[in-house]
Amino acid sequence: MTQYNRPNETVFASGAKPGELESFPDITRGWGVTFDQTTGIPPMEWFNALFKRSDEAVRYLLQRGIGEWSATEDYPIDAHVQEGGKIWKAKVGSVGKRPSLNPTEWVETALTREALKTLIQEQLGGGTINFGQWQWSSATSGGVANGYLALNTTNPADATSLLIAKSSAEGLDYSRIVALLRAGDTLCIQSRSGGTVAHRFRVTGDLVDSGTYRSVPVVYVSGAGGTPTANAQLQVLMTPAGGTVPAASTTDSQTDFNAVTEPGWYPKLLGGPAGSRNANHPDGQASMLKGSGVTNYYWLLTARYAANLIQVALPYVSSADVSLVTMKFRLLGGGVWSPWRSVLHADNTLGTGLPAASVMWWSFRNSIPAGWAPADGQLLNRALYPDIWAAVSEGRLPKATEALWNSDPSQRGMFTEGDGSTTFRMPDYNGKAVGSLGALFLRGDGTLSTGTHGVVQTDAMQGHWHNLDIGGVAGTTGLSATNVAMSNGVTSGVGAIRSPIGDGVNGAPRVASETRPLNVTGCWIIRMGGGVTNAGTIDAAAISSTYAALVTRVEALEARPRTLGDGQSWQDVTASRSAGVTYTNTSGRPKFVSVFAANGAATRGLHVGGLLVAQLTPISSGTISSTVYAIVPNGVTYSLTAGASITTWMELG
């Protein structure tokens, strides 16, 4: 079979001079377009463009190896693409399905060694990996044969290196799995069932490949049973663990918690005095929250879930530290660490124990906590908030029909079943929806209430009478403004009821469009789930699916051709245009052509793609000025009637 050398990086026609390169007018049709435009003879400029296009495609593949995913490409099964810094393989044919958001269509492939190790840890949940069965070799140097393992010392407790063959006693090749070992992992060598030997070692560095076996640097952790007998059958287990972090000392006040990303248990990390700690310490530079006010010790637990991490900082409390301290945590997602939060921090509203559909007043709409939503009468998706929808559909929350909610504002303290299939409607406690009755107070369901949950009770004043003093006689009754003569000492006439005035003691009365108590504006919010999980609460998977669908729709919209005029501008091309000459629109988009001509009774017209689409034929002699115009699709020819006198030729493109 012929083997070919890699071509150089030169791209054909990449150094073409101006005018020597012109985009081929119709790629999908091919050379047939020459019979329409160049009498069957393609020009040099087209050949330059086509060969340059081919060379650029080759250069693209040579540079990247695997092409980047495209929203418009029709991918067959087993196709490979790059997306998000990863390599993906198509499980089925698809168009517009972004690999990172569509696991049913794509699967990640070509994993790196670190990604493979992470995947194994994820699948095992940080558990133990079985390294198979091996026989014990009493040799302490010189390597081991296939199926054997050994230590570099007779006493296991003194060992600094473990020698392990690439193939086990069962003849299975473990070379790839052994290569995954990293500093911090734990190896356990133990007898088969009924044996007494069990020794644990911690991997301390990089492995050394010695051909048929590997030398693993280790430190002894614990064990029992002494040295195994020669040729004894042993089982090897590996437990992935975190890297090592030194125990607290006076020199580690700059421990960077951001760097502790390997899952594991890290005891007694010292943060140092306030003002001298690393910026990523759980307490930052804040003063100590414990008795001594100096050191800020923490035990740190780092755990992994998929590509995300959680760090939990547990305060180390000695006999001298008697004051209350707070456990803290933070998350790593998308490459960004969240701030450290106390377990009982005000931001942790999902951990307060409040049930779904709880109502709370919040002081600022722009900072509504996660897991809550404003009570604005809006329509929400049932699948995203299954707890709330279950309560609405089962009648555990007050609800009205959608039609009644919209027609009667007094019903807007209730939920509705929305569109009847995918949505439900929130109550409007904030008075945000059109036609709602202002911002509401909440009250109990006893005496003086409407007696019906969710019904909005309009404002009112308690029924009452007023005493009226006339002529010094208090409590006069049976009088009205129409039959009482009034006098201010100057004029007299029939009395009238006026706006309230001050009594001279308590200030001017406040008058408004409603009767209300003293209040402060905020926002009523409703808790939308019992927690962020997939089992009967806010459904993270549904949110992800909805997001993926939206991404697909956005990408489809972005891939659609832009409308005429979007990003285009008018260009005066009079100097480069002549009547009777055929031009081709090679701009990649439709363009608008407008020609102002002045030439007596001559007919002038625009031809697009060989068809007359705009024409003016004067019916009298003399100088007649006119404008003819047309839209020219991309790749199509256009021309003005020969002999027309051009005043101005404008193109929007």
- pLDDT tens-place string over residues 46-94: 999 899 999 888 888 888 888 899 999 999 999 999 998 888 899 999 9
Q: What confidence tier does 605 reach under pLDDT thresholds 50, 70, 90?
A: confident
For 346, 364, 533, 582, 653, the CA distances from 369, given in Å and listed in that order, are 9, 10, 17, 65, 48
Whether 384 and 542 have beta carbons less than 8 Å apart is answered as yes
For residue 218, what are its two tokens?
């280790």
- Each residue of 355-372: pLDDT tens digit? 888 999 988 888 888 778
With a pLDDT cut of 70, the percent of the chain lying above it is: 74
**Could you give the CA distance from residue 196 to residue 215 in angstroms, rounded to a whole number?**
25
pLDDT at 19 exceeding the cut of 80: yes
Q: Given the DSSP bridges, would you call strands 148-151 and 129-136 parallel, antiparallel or unpaired?
A: parallel
Separation between Cα atoms, residue 193 and residue 197, nearest integer Å: 10
Q: What is the pLDDT of residue 320?
A: 45
Half-sphere exposure of 587 (CA within 13 A, CB side): 22
Q: Which of 46-50, 164-168, 318-322, 348-352 has the highest mean pLDDT?
A: 46-50
What 18-26 contacts at long range (C-beta under 8 Å, 24+ apart), as own/partner pairs, is 19/45, 20/44, 20/45, 20/48, 21/45, 21/48, 21/49, 21/52, 22/46, 22/48, 22/49, 22/586, 23/49, 23/586, 23/588, 24/49, 24/50, 24/53, 25/584, 25/586, 25/635, 26/635
Whether the pLDDT of residue 41 is over 60: the answer is yes
SS3 217: strand
Residue 412 pLDDT grade (very low, low, confident, very high; cuts 50, 70, 90): very high
End-to-end CA distance of the chain: 51
pLDDT value at 246 more than 50: no
The per-residue pLDDT for range 541-575, each reduced to its tens digit, is 456 445 544 655 665 576 567 788 888 889 999 99
Phi/psi of residue 158, nearest 5 degrees: -100, 0
Nearest CA to 390 out of 530, 540, 547, 546 is that of 530
Cα 529 vs. chain centroid, distance in angstroms?
Answer: 20
Residue bearing the bigger pLDDT, 103 or 540: 103
Query: For residue 420, is it left (φ>0), alpha (ψ between -120 and 50) or beta?
Result: left
Q: Which helix (H) or strand (E) holds 571?
A: strand 570-572
Confidence of residue 506 (pLDDT cuts 50, 70, 90): confident
Residue 376 DSSP code: B
pLDDT tens digits, residue range 183-230?
A: 778 888 888 766 678 888 888 888 888 888 889 998 887 778 888 888
Q: CB 422: neighbour CB atoms within 10 A?
A: 12
Domains detected in the chain: 1-65 (no CATH), 74-110 (no CATH), 115-239 (2.40.30), 257-345 (no CATH), 352-444+451-456+518-560 (no CATH), 570-652 (2.60.120)
The region of weakest confidence among 95-109, 281-295, 331-345 is 281-295
Residues with Cβ within 8 Å of residue 644, at least 6 apart in sequence: 579, 595, 597, 599, 602, 604
CA dihedral (508, 511, 516, 522) positive or negative: negative
Please state, in angstroms and rounded to a whole number, the distance separating the CA atoms of residues 412 and 400: 8
CB atoms within 10 A of CB 603: 13
* DSSP result, 220-277: EEEEES-SPPTT-EEEEEEE--PPP-PPP-TT-TT--GGG--SSEEEEEEE--STTSS
More confident residue, 513 or 599: 513
What pLDDT was estimated at residue 355?
80
Q: Give the residue from 320, 269, 312, 268 showing the smallest Cα distance to 293.
A: 320
Give 139's Cβ-side CA count (13 Å radius). 11
Amino acid at position 9, single letter: E
Question: What tokens does 18 get?
Answer: 């101006």
- The DSSP bridge partners found for residue 592 are 631, 652
Is the pTM for the entire model greater than 0.85?
Answer: no
Local confidence band at 113 (pLDDT 50, 70, 90 cut-offs): low
- DSSP, collapsed to helix, strand or coil, labels residue 315 as strand
pLDDT at site 204: 83
Nearest-angstrom CA–CA distance, 252 and 272: 8
What value does the mean pLDDT of the chain take? 78
Please enumerate in sequence order all residues whose Cβ is within 8 A of that of 316, keeping only pairs 6 or more positions apart, or say none.
248, 268, 297, 298, 299
Backbone phi and psi for residue 596, each to the nearest 5 degrees, phi listed first = -100, 120
3-state secondary structure of 405: helix
